[in-house]
Structure 1
Amino acid sequence: MRLPKGSLYDLYGEDLLVNPDWKWIQPFLVRCEKLEMYEYLKKIAILIMENNKFIPKVFETAESFYELEKLGSAAILYEGIIEVERDIRSERLAICHYRLFQIVLEHNFGSSYVAHRFIPFRARLPKTYSLNGLLLIAENFAALERWEDVEKYAEELRELAQDMYADNRRSYKKSKYRLQHPLVFYYGRALLLKSLSFEYREMYEEAKKWIMGYVDLSWFKGLDEQGRIEVQRFSMYARANLLCIEVKMGNQTVIPQYAAFLQENPDEILEGLITLLISANQHQYSIDETLQLFAIESMDITKMESTDSYYREFFHRHRYCQFCYHYAAYSFYRDHFSEGIKYTLLSLEVAIQMKNNRMMVLCMTLFEKYREHATFDQSIVYDLLCKGVHNNMQEQQPGSLWSFWNSIMAAL
């Protein structure tokens, strides 16, 4: 008939609804996915699922889409199940919320909207999924710098990992839902996140107590090769974080040791420089000699992007934004005004890209304090960036769940 693909799908879909049969419905959903007919996929899925017997089948299809990384189509089906599922205690409903949370964080990390939507369902998940869900909740709140929430959900994560370990690792190994990481990873990560929650609230002695918990996790039984790698990694993190605490407390004698550690571990340099700058600014001392050890001018955010996932890249960008801000403040303290203005603008630009309102306000406050030292061109750049701040502030929460997903779908 020389019609475009999908032209008759409206008629075919209506016919399916008159005499619904899964052996025809499932291929139709797959075909809609291939043709990226997302609006019709959403419509037909909800209509089909009004017949409750199809909900399990649609869920299986959603899971297959998710495994094949067809995240947009999977999200539509998961959301459709949430719309029609009546049993709020259903494990399937909890998994749908969990999957949607995972999908969103891959493209919109640092979202309090989707976190709060998932949180009520976290305990209804299979334990293996609940571990990963709690970790994502805590990391999401860490991105938002909501440290009391980080502490709360990191403690839940620690308790769950500890309970599963005490269960002699029997129940979760029999589950059809496998752990994404070794159990020791979740336990160590919970301790690390708790220590960070205290560190960033300047409760340093409390932070040290939790850091000591992951200095040596080799007592974990049943460690495989990946588990032993994680134990070594946490030991390294503990050594770094103990030094970090000392630096933040103003102990300048450990700076050479801390700088040597950073040189041995290049992935930690950016985080380490932030620590050094925070301490130098707070305690008003010079770290010029230490900074010379690192090529600050050659730092390029594009080289810090991670291929692991969006939320890993998010943390790289977040750290870069913080580094620029604290380096600007340090430069102003040293009367290096040109350098200070430059890095204030860099931090503001990244904060706008990340929609980080807190950092936007901090950068704008810092710029205004030293505005008289800005060049004409720098003032023009600042005014343009302020328009971006205004646009971010004008954005509202989505009017409906589907409008929220439409914005996510655009990124998938």
Structure 2
Amino acid sequence: MKRTATIRHEIIKFMEENNMTINQFARLSSINSGSLSSILNGNRPMSVNQIDRITESMGLTAGHFYDRYIYECIFHTTPDWRRLGAFLERCAVLNNLDCLHIAARMTMENMTYAPMLFDLAETFYNEERYKAAAILYECVAESEKFQHSERLALCHYRLFIHSLSDNQETNWQAVVLFEPYIERLNESYQLDAYQNLINIYGSLTQWDKVDYLAVRMGTKAKAGYENPQSGYQGRDPHIFYILYSYLARSTHYAEYRDYEQALYYVGLYENPDFIKNPTEDENIIIEQFREWAEANRYLYDLLRGKPDALSKYVDYIESKEDEIFVAICNIMIAANRYQLRVDPILERFKEHLQYRSQKNQLGKVSEHVTRGRYTRLLAELGIYYLNSKQYDRGLSYILDSLEFSIRIKSDNGMLRCMGIFEQFRQSASEEILQRYEKLIRAVQKLSVYDWSPVV
């Protein structure tokens, strides 16, 4: 890093150019003249508050001298945590992540600062300064000597949550990096960590992993429910994680078309007779899972070839705004599997064919799950119209699905769409072909240039 002059030289130069004495600049910057004199003579380092006052007095942007401050006032000798911690906090406030990163890296040369750096990362995390927190978590994780420590595991968990996005490629890398640490987390974090992993693996259609993790989460949640002193806690009551594990397992079996097993688990979250004297919050959870159970009974009957279940399913979800999007996705899968005509249903619920965030009684639905469903919905709509020989309309939906798959970097989605398009290429209009070629170039560019590792 090139540094042509020290901060002290810059201050002296400013004073000379403006014909100012130490006393005058001291009054301007609200710094004691004796302290300012000691700073300029090199007898004492500046505090973060002092360098901020000096910077403002010189008419410079906040943080202007931070890159030099790191070397001149923090690491010129053994760093003092009071000065260093204040500097890191100020970097976070100003979103000066480059200086934060440099200082944090240099700090970790002295491992005694690891606990303090971790605590500061937790402060940033709770203040929703996630990028600043991620930098500190990464530093602590890389230098942590005790490889089975809870602190190391929590760093990886925070980094996992921070790195999740609409990019399925980096989400896959994130779960691979974090999953080995989940059992090392403090029990108070494990249930939510398992739920997050289940949601990501579900969005990646890794159903065997979903089932494996659901079993583990359910076991831990039951232990917490039966023995509150076990330490297993989460954001939600224990019964949520128990019932969610049943829901995840039923989904796993349904994806493999084992509807008998899927319905078995539906029964478990529909009638949770192990719950005694539920609280008000628990009653809300129980009611939501019962609604899902009823909807999924209609769905699984429909998916295993009982056409009369379609009208029951539609009648059920019509009055349940939060369930319509999911139902339309499922209805299109069944329609293509059994050649059902569902045009009136699509017309009735056409406003639900656009992408938007989903919610239910328990809160917001995972965006990772919603994005995966939407990609599948577009593809199923395309197949539906192709089967009815509406080629332009069908291929347009296939390309919509391909475009969305490129956006979220879904390999499965891209391969599915390209395979379907090639099957019907001869029926495509020139306009559709041009759009397809443009998207294929985007796929090729993505595979070569647009890969980025997860921290």
Q: Same fold (TM over 0.5)?
A: yes
Pair 1:8-2:39 in alignment: no
Q: Which moved more, 1:373-382 or 1:254-263?
A: 373-382
Report the counterpart of residue 159 of structure 1 in structure 2. 219
Pair 1:51-2:110 in alignment: yes
Report the counterpart of residue 156 of structure 2 in structure 1. 97
Whichever residue aligns with residue 5 of structure 1, its letter is A
Report the counterpart of residue 20 of structure 2 in structure 1. none
Tell me the secondary structure at the aligned position of residue 404 of structure 1: coil
Whichever residue aligns with residue 173 of structure 2, its letter is Y
Pair 1:118-2:168 in alignment: no
Is 1:107–1:311's contact at 8 Å kept on the other side of the alignment? no
Corresponding residue to 1:389 among 431, 434, 443 = 443
Between the aligned partners of 1:49 and 1:71, the Cα distance in structure 2 is 20
Between the aligned partners of 2:312 and 2:364, the Cα distance in structure 1 is 33
Report the counterpart of residue 404 of structure 1 in structure 2. 454
Pair 1:136-2:196 in alignment: yes
Is 2:223–2:230's contact at 8 Å kept on the other side of the alignment? no
Report the counterpart of residue 350 of structure 1 in structure 2. 404
Is 1:131–1:160's contact at 8 Å kept on the other side of the alignment? yes
Between the aligned partners of 2:343 and 2:243, the Cα distance in structure 1 is 35
Shift in CA distance, 299/282, structure 1 to aligned 2, threshold 3 Å = closer
Q: Which moved more, 1:28-37 or 1:303-312?
A: 303-312
Between the aligned partners of 2:100 and 2:338, the Cα distance in structure 1 is 59
**Aligned counterparts, 1:204-283, within 5 A:** 204-217=259-272, 219-221=274-276, 223-283=278-338
Deviation of 1:306 after TM superposition, in Å, equals: 7.3
* Cα root mean square deviation, aligned: 2.4
Between the aligned partners of 1:247 and 1:134, the Cα distance in structure 2 is 30
Deviation of 1:211 after TM superposition, in Å, equals: 1.4
Q: Describe the superposition over 1:97-137 as per-residue Cα deviations: whole angstroms up to 9, x where unpaired.
A: 11111111256567111111111111111112011111111
Between the aligned partners of 2:89 and 2:112, the Cα distance in structure 1 is 19
Shift in CA distance, 346/286, structure 1 to aligned 2, threshold 3 Å = same
Deviation of 1:246 after TM superposition, in Å, equals: 0.7
Deviation of 1:361 after TM superposition, in Å, equals: 1.4
Is 2:202–2:210's contact at 8 Å kept on the other side of the alignment? yes
Report the counterpart of residue 19 of structure 1 in structure 2. 78
Between the aligned partners of 1:332 and 1:291, the Cα distance in structure 2 is 15
Between the aligned partners of 1:70 and 1:137, the Cα distance in structure 2 is 23
Deviation of 1:314 after TM superposition, in Å, equals: 3.4
Report the counterpart of residue 183 of structure 1 in structure 2. 238
Between the aligned partners of 1:106 and 1:370, the Cα distance in structure 2 is 33
Q: Describe the superposition over 1:263-300 as per-residue Cα deviations: whole angstroms up to 9, x where unpaired.
A: 1222222221222222222223333444443226x732
Report the counterpart of residue 255 of structure 2 in structure 1. 200
Corresponding residue to 1:170 among 229, 240, 246 = 229
Between the aligned partners of 1:342 and 1:108, the Cα distance in structure 2 is 23
Corresponding residue to 2:101 among 34, 42, 62 = 42
Between the aligned partners of 1:328 and 1:99, the Cα distance in structure 2 is 39
Corresponding residue to 1:318 among 362, 368, 372 = 372
Is 1:218–1:228's contact at 8 Å kept on the other side of the alignment? no
Q: Describe the superposition over 1:38-72 as per-residue Cα deviations: whole angstroms up to 9, x where unpaired.
A: 12212211222332221111111100100111000
Between the aligned partners of 1:383 and 1:60, the Cα distance in structure 2 is 51
**TM-score where L is the length of structure 1:** 0.89
Whichever residue aligns with residue 321 of structure 2, its letter is P
What are structure 2's unaligned runs of at least 5 residues? Answer: 1-10, 12-57
Between the aligned partners of 2:357 and 2:98, the Cα distance in structure 1 is 36
Between the aligned partners of 1:171 and 1:23, the Cα distance in structure 2 is 38
Shift in CA distance, 304/166, structure 1 to aligned 2, threshold 3 Å = closer
Is 1:341–1:374's contact at 8 Å kept on the other side of the alignment? yes
Tell me the secondary structure at the aligned position of residue 308 of structure 2: helix
Between the aligned partners of 2:321 and 2:363, the Cα distance in structure 1 is 20
Shift in CA distance, 223/106, structure 1 to aligned 2, threshold 3 Å = farther
Q: Which moved more, 1:389-398 or 1:267-276?
A: 389-398
Deviation of 1:395 after TM superposition, in Å, equals: 4.5
Q: Which moved more, 1:41-50 or 1:354-363?
A: 41-50
Q: Describe the superposition over 1:370-394 as per-residue Cα deviations: whole angstroms up to 9, x where unpaired.
A: 2232222121111111112212222
Shift in CA distance, 396/349, structure 1 to aligned 2, threshold 3 Å = closer
Shift in CA distance, 383/310, structure 1 to aligned 2, threshold 3 Å = farther
Tell me the secondary structure at the aligned position of residue 202 of structure 1: coil
Between the aligned partners of 2:364 and 2:155, the Cα distance in structure 1 is 21
Deviation of 1:82 after TM superposition, in Å, equals: 0.6
Between the aligned partners of 2:165 and 2:427, the Cα distance in structure 1 is 40
**TM-score where L is the length of structure 2:** 0.81
Q: Which moved more, 1:207-216 or 1:363-372?
A: 363-372
Q: Describe the superposition over 1:318-357 as per-residue Cα deviations: whole angstroms up to 9, x where unpaired.
A: 2222111111111121222232122112111111111111
Deviation of 1:163 after TM superposition, in Å, equals: 1.4
Between the aligned partners of 1:323 and 1:287, the Cα distance in structure 2 is 14
Deviation of 1:12 after TM superposition, in Å, equals: 2.9
